[in-house]
């Protein structure tokens, strides 16, 4: 119901067309398109279903980057289908939850102010934000409520499957000043770099990242990820983030990353019961039992069908 009403009402919300790109935007667009020109079209018929799904998404994203205006990528079908929720019945409930937090006025009100980067669709009942940013803020608020830890207290964060960079942006808006690694498929790493640079968030090469105390690096190579985590995630306040992303990956990919986070201090995970050939309920039940010294909070997300939160922290941390 909310979805159909919102689609009609959004026409009444001020939604300006894109202006002519600035010289800085033109340079960023050229870099993005050069990145995607180097990426091949992926075969989707000879792989397992979970891989075929994301290979198809990568192919569609490549097509759009090279043939459409990336300044409005948040309106593209592949983005709206996979990582940007604009209209849904549950978004108003999540916004209401945020507004009832004790620090709504001092913290969350400003944190969910949407930028123009990517030309996001405004949330019809709160045009200063977008449905997706509200959704991400709700995840973080759930983590903070359960663990009593503010994310800006973290030193190092690994996000598995960072979408277009929205969660990373939110962490920085909330005051995070440490090291942030996003591990994702090459296409989405390219999009994340473009988006975060557009917002002025420092995105670095692997070498620069290793020599700095803060910043963001977008990684697609598992060996590079191993080096970064081994050499630079040695501090106490480490956090893993994966909202539906890790549960939408083939088991072979998960199993290459999961061992790397066994000694992390905090976890924010959301997952659906099943994705393609994988039973996620069994997978995460087995995994959480294998992690030592973590207090877990695992519960059904009542307003999102067939989905659960898995949030945890080492109680002696922070």
**CA proximity to 245, closest of 170, 316, 161:** 161
pLDDT at 4 over 80: no
CATH class of the domain at 147-314: alpha beta
More confident residue, 80 or 209: 80
- Which pLDDT band holds residue 286 (cuts at 50, 70, 90)? very high
What pTM was computed for the model? 0.91
Average pLDDT over residues 293-312: 96
206 alpha-carbon distance from chain centroid: 20
Instruction: Sort residue 73 into left (φ over 0), alpha (ψ -120 to 50) or beta.
Output: alpha
Q: Which two tokens stand for residue 240?
A: 């893993």
pLDDT at 9: 55
Where are the chain's structural domains? 2-11+85-133, 23-82, 147-314
pLDDT at 315 over 90: no
**73-101: per-residue pLDDT in tens?**
999 999 999 999 988 889 999 999 999 99
pLDDT at 230 over 60: yes
Residues 98, 134: Cα–Cα separation, whole Å:
8
């Amino acid at each position: 119901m909310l979805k159909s009403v919102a689609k009609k009402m959004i026409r009444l919300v001020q939604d300006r067309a894109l202006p002519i790109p600035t010289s800085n935007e033109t340079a960023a667009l050229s870099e993005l398109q050069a990145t995607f020109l180097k990426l091949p079209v992926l075969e989707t018929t000879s792989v397992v279903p979970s891989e075929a799904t994301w290979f198809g998404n990568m192919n569609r994203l490549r097509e759009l980057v090279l043939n459409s205006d990336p300044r409005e990528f948040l309106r593209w079908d592949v983005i709206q289908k996979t990582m940007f929720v604009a209209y849904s019945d549950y978004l108003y409930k999540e916004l209401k939850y945020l507004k009832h937090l004790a620090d709504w006025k001092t913290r969350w009100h400003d944190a969910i102010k949407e930028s123009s980067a990517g030309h996001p669709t405004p949330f019809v009942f709160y045009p200063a934000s977008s449905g997706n940013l509200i959704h991400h803020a709700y995840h973080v608020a759930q983590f903070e409520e359960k663990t009593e830890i503010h994310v800006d207290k973290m030193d190092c964060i690994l996000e598995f499957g960072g979408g277009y960079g929205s969660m990373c942006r939110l962490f920085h808006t909330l005051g995070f000043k440490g090291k942030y690694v996003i591990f994702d498929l090459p296409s989405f790493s390219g999009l994340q770099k473009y988006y975060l640079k557009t917002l002025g968030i420092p995105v670095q090469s692997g070498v620069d990242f290793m020599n700095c105390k803060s910043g963001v690096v977008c990684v697609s190579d598992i060996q590079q990820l191993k080096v970064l985590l081994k050499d630079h995630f040695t501090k106490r306040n480490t956090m893993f983030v994966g909202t539906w992303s890790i549960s939408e990956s083939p088991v072979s990919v998960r199993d290459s990353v999961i061992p790397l986070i066994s000694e992390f201090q905090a976890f924010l995970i959301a997952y659906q019961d099943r994705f393609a050939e994988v039973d996620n309920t069994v997978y995460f039940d087995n995994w959480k039992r294998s992690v030592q010294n973590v207090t877990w909070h695992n519960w059904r997300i009542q307003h999102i069908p067939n989905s659960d939160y898995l949030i945890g922290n080492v109680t002696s941390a922070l």
